[in-house]
A and B are shown apart, each in its own frame.
Chain A
Amino acid sequence: MQNGDQHYSMEDETYTDIDGKAISLECQSHSGFCREFTVSSAKVSIGRVMAYTCAVWLSAYIIFFVTENTAVLSSAIIITLVGMMVRIHFVKVDHETLLIIGSLGVQVSSSYASGRESTDFIEMGKIKDIVINEAIHMQTVIYYLCILLKDPSDPEAVSSVVPLFQSSKPRLNCLVKVYKSCQEILAKC
């Protein structure tokens, strides 16, 4: 089916986040002034899940062997289940999306591993600019993309900063690509 969008996913594998894990970037151009960028992190690793579960249950069995109290076993099971549910629903981010629509606004959304999506839309009237900022975190210098917001009553001052892609934390090469695309659209409108 012919599609008016253009997808770019050729150079996925070369992108990594600041910790070195592989991420992927997908750019979609819906029209001349509407673009969507999706940064996907690594999925939940089944090996790690099994390792944690085995460790917790093994220690629970050992404690049960020592104390002969069955409450230890049931509490270990409950803790594992609840912890897993909380992690995939509230903590683990699957992909983050940035949708920029010229002269309307920017929509930022995070999608969690359980499918939950949390979305935020910022109108164009409140956006001063989209820039790449540097931050010093312990012994490293990291770059992050952020939106500068302005107060409508004072167009010159920056009232707040909204950082983007906070869970996936892509590196500078990925950010530069997104930055250039966004600046093209902001310049048009």
Chain B
Amino acid sequence: MVLKIFFPQCCNKADSGLLVGRWIPGQNSAVVLAVIHYPFIPGQVKQYIHQMRGQSGVDLTVLGSWSMPKEGQEGMESFLRDLSTIFPQGQWLQLSREMGKIGFRCHVLTRDPNGKLIQQEKELKEDGGGEKGGTKRGGGEKKGEENKVEGEEGGGEKDKVIFIHYEQRKVMLSQLHPIDNGVPDPQTESQLPQVFGTVCQSEPLFFLDKYDDGPVKMTHWQSEGREGSIIVELMKQASTPVCLLTTWMLTLWTSLCSSRILNMRPMRFISSKLSTCVQLSYRTEHLQTVCSPTRATAHNHFMRKANIFVSFFVDVSLGLLLVSWMYRENRIGKLANTLVPAADYVAKELEELLQWLMGAPAGLKMNRALDQVLGRFFLYHIHLWISYIHLMSPFVEMILWYVGLSACLGLTFALSLLSDITALLTFHIYCFYVYGARLYCMTVYGLSSLWRLFRGKKWNVLRQRVDSCSYDLDQLRLVVVMFQGVLHLSVDFINSFPLFAMGLRLFRSYRLAEGVKFRVLCEEPGTPLHLMMDINPLKVSSVVQTYRTPTYSCYPKDSWLALCKKLFLGELIYPWRHKTTKID
């Protein structure tokens, strides 16, 4: 198999030293993580690596030596080769680079069963892979010597090594999808997840670098300068007391909600049907997840917390914006002033419709007695309802004013409120619909049994002619139901959309990786293969699918078709969440 060496771009111009990394079993690959510089004491290096192995859980070893000779460092190569005796390895890599040339060279020394090292005729020259990839280092060019290349003309197997350059910081911060939640078996796990996992878990290795005063001096991605942000650090410090405070307030609130008074049967029924209360409980649950004082360890938990936090933040800011717009220029007053005339108008139209139906609608002759009964019944309903609205009219503005303040809690609250108000205002239409639908359902049932009997033995006569009445009411009901459905769906969408994950995908696309892509870096003749490994970001649709917050849903995906089907058959449609009973 071809030997694959994953080499970090930050080490392209590092000083000579030892390569530290991990061999990936079964794949004949090596991941280089850092370069330890001369001068070092081999005993200390071994101790340090042992310590790092324990801390990170990664099987770190010394892979070989790296030589980038400066002036006055002749004989470095033989010195580095002698080091192979100190660090016993199965395979010892000797990578070297010349100044002025962009090629790397690699010798591989294998230990034969006797413990002696054999030099293999594997010479590989790399071409300017690092430069093509665009290193961030602007560091000065080091002067170096031309090293004599042994056995260059001899050749041997020139093509058996691939150098794959990777950007260490991006690979470390990236998460490869699909996310494997279980513990992967190291034997069957494929190569790329192992590479990503190695770099990710070796974070303790990157704490010390060559400018620190530790036992070893290393070069890795942090050597350019430790990354940090004052704001992030301050927020981290402030987050713990804020989280504790919020958790305490939330426990108070949940204990209040579960108190005896609010848990009596009628209150519980109403609060489970009103979407505002449902939304409230949903948000409380979210806040409890976000404000839990324990840190999120797994990637999934972290993304969930971050998504909930960002979506809550955006929701509240949009809600505040809405409140600030609505409460200017007395818009609430204007809205309240149009509400009562609108209700009057709807009631008048309904009465006209009922009068038309009680006569001879479209020339159809109907069961006059039944029409009169139903018509009068509905007219009385409307009369009651209009009186109730007129009774409430002086208080409407005040109620709207105070209730509108709760939109401060978020835009989703405002939408749920709107949905609830619509439901309450059109409750009478819903009552009509219920009566009509039940009658229609009985009609359909009767007719279907008639049809069955007709095909069979007996012939029965059942004539009820309330059909056309139900159709017209259904149209009105359909409009209202569609409006409520749109509101519910938009609330669901806002609740479940992963804003943080989308933001990551747009601005830091390397954090969510679907895979990798390789680019061949231009080669010099007779040099081994150099590849640049870039991160392939996750597709937008996969982001939404993977990171959707699970949400309550009154209207499942295929709802519109099911809705129409229910309307036609006369089954009742509930505008709130209802446990459907199983009917065969």
Residues of chain A at the chain B interface (Cβ within 8 Å): 2-5, 30-34, 36, 99, 101-104, 107, 109, 119-121, 123, 125-126, 152-153, 189
Contacts and interface: CB of A to CB of B under 8 A. Distances in A.
Nearest to B159: A32
A27 to B, nearest CB: 14
B520 A30 contact: yes
Interface stretch (B167-175, B187-195, B322-330, B383-391): B187-195
10 contacts: A2-B525, A3-B523, A30-B523, A101-B518, A103-B28, A104-B4, A104-B162, A107-B517, A121-B517, A152-B188
A32 B162 CA distance: 11
B523 A103 contact: no
B528 interface: yes
Contacts of B527: 4
B183 to A, nearest CB: 15
B34 interface: no
B526 interface: yes
A74 B190 CA distance: 54
A4 B124 CA distance: 14
A101 B517 CA distance: 12
B262 interface: no
B523 A5 contact: yes
Nearest to B516: A121
A120 B518 CA distance: 10
Given A4-B525, A34-B520, A123 B191 contact: yes
Contact of B190 (A3, A102, A125, A189): A125
Given A34-B529, A102-B2, A103-B1, A119 B536 contact: yes
Interface of B: 1-2, 4, 28, 159, 162, 164, 188, 190-192, 515-518, 520, 522-529, 531, 536
A33 B2 contact: yes
Given A31-B523, A104-B4, 20 more contacts: A2-B525, A4-B523, A4-B526, A30-B520, A30-B529, A31-B528, A31-B529, A33-B2, A33-B529, A34-B162, A34-B520, A103-B1, A103-B4, A107-B517, A109-B517, A119-B517, A119-B536, A120-B515, A121-B516, A121-B517
A68 B525 CA distance: 69
A101 B2 CA distance: 10
A95 B527 CA distance: 28
B520 A123 contact: no
Contacts of A119: 517, 536
B525 A99 contact: no
Contacts of B524: 2, 4
A43 B526 CA distance: 36
B520 A36 contact: yes
Contacts of B162: 34, 101, 104
A2 B190 CA distance: 37
B518 A189 contact: no
Nearest to A119: B517
Given A123-B191, A152-B190, A101 B531 contact: yes
Nearest to B187: A152
Given A3-B525, A109-B517, A121-B515, A103 B188 contact: no
Contacts of A152: 188, 190
Given A2-B525, A3-B523, A99 B518 contact: yes
Contacts of A107: 517-518
A103 to B, nearest CB: 4
B1 to A, nearest CB: 5
Contacts of B28: 103
Contacts of A31: 159, 523, 528-529
Contacts of B518: 99, 101, 104, 107, 121
Nearest to A30: B520
Contacts of B531: 101, 104
A35 to B, nearest CB: 10
Contacts of B159: 31-33
B1 A99 contact: no
Contacts of A101: 162, 518, 529, 531
Contacts of A102: 2
Nearest to B3: A103
Given A33-B2, A107-B517, A121-B518, A153 B528 contact: no
Contacts of A189: 1-2
Contacts of B188: 152-153
Contacts of B4: 103-104
A99 B520 contact: yes
A104 B515 CA distance: 14
